A = this chain, B = another copy of it.
């Protein structure tokens, strides 16, 4: 039984309003989460409602948060998220960055006192849609990544997204955690009783391990992109640091290394940048070059002829096309949890 993307979005909206969120921000959160499910990024879709419900019950996220613009210039803004879910202030931030970049050429907006904002790619897609280069970074609630040479978790998965407009409707869109892999991939290996490829996890002494259980059990660590010192994990570590500098040092959000950080998911920070290619050349020429570069990479001789080389954004677009046509499958376990949440909040159940 598959479900239409529109039903998922409506279901999320109903639950959020049931949680006392106002209709306008609820619509934004639903749109961002629904986009993730449509694009195959289930880890950041409607499944997040189970975590948001936990946070809400624990008083760690404010469903009636007031968003405030604290500072503003023609090329920048600083936004206070009011301790609520991150999607509404993040959406406002990228909207402001885009508007300002269209007038001034480029702009950066910083958000603090926020929480989880969904999939990074949603926001950079907004910039690409507007014909602009887009960048976003965010801090994350968990601390489970050891820096190169370290035997202690100090960083989060600290994702980064970049976009550029190319062919109409086919932007370059990179959305990546700065870890080797997402936590979910490690958990899946553990659930299946499989070992993890070398470089995914470190044991509690910081040594290389192929046992996913060291991370799932909470004693070991995830690795920065690169995986091992030989594989240049100092690069993934450096990118993660820059994510923290842009997201929290600029905005004044909690540092990931602040002991209070993991206790206060309403104190994350985000960063957004939009840049108009028209500052440098005719925007159509820039788009043409981006499209050409992407097509040239797609034309690379593949290792396996059945698996053509793709460009960042291609797999998610293909998935969205499929799901717009065929609908989306929500696993039974998740569906049961969501139904309980909907019933508990008095929301209509739309996902049968």
Which residues of chain A have a CB within 8 Å of any CB of chain B? 71, 73-76, 78, 104-108, 110, 133, 146-152, 154-155, 162, 164, 172, 174, 176, 180-181, 197, 199-200, 205-207, 225-228, 230-232, 234-239, 241-242, 244-246, 248-252, 255-257, 275, 277, 279-281, 285-286, 289-290, 292-294, 296-297, 300-304, 307-312
Contacts and interface: CB of A to CB of B under 8 A. Distances in A.
Given A71-B280, A249-B164, A301 B236 contact: no
Nearest to A291: B249
Contacts of A147: 297, 300, 309
13 contacts: A75-B75, A75-B106, A148-B309, A149-B304, A162-B238, A164-B249, A172-B245, A180-B232, A197-B231, A241-B311, A250-B280, A250-B281, A257-B292
A250 B277 contact: yes
A204 to B, nearest CB: 10
**From A206, A227, A236, A311, residue with most partner B Cβ within 10 Å:** A227
Contact of A245 (B133, B279, B285): B133
A106 to B, nearest CB: 5
Contacts of A154: 296-297, 300
A302 B150 contact: yes
Nearest to A75: B105
**From A180, A249, A289, residue with most partner B Cβ within 10 Å:** A249
Contacts of A252: 280-281, 285, 289
Given A255-B292, A257-B297, 6 more contacts: A110-B279, A133-B250, A149-B307, A248-B293, A249-B289, A251-B281
A3 to B, nearest CB: 29
Number of copies: 2
A246 B304 CA distance: 30
Contacts of A152: 300-301
A245 B8 CA distance: 35
Contacts of A303: 149-151, 205-207
A239 to B, nearest CB: 7
A78 B281 contact: yes
Contact of A257 (B197, B280, B296): B296
A134 B238 CA distance: 14
Given A149-B304, A172-B245, A242-B172, A234 B312 contact: yes
A280 B110 contact: yes
Given A73-B279, A235-B176, A289-B248, A241 B297 contact: yes
Contacts of A242: 162, 164, 172, 174
Nearest to A228: B197
A149 B106 contact: no
Contact of A172 (B110, B241, B280): B241
A150 B75 contact: no
- In the A-B complex, the 5 residue pairs with the closest CB atoms: A257-B296, A174-B238, A206-B303, A150-B300, A76-B279
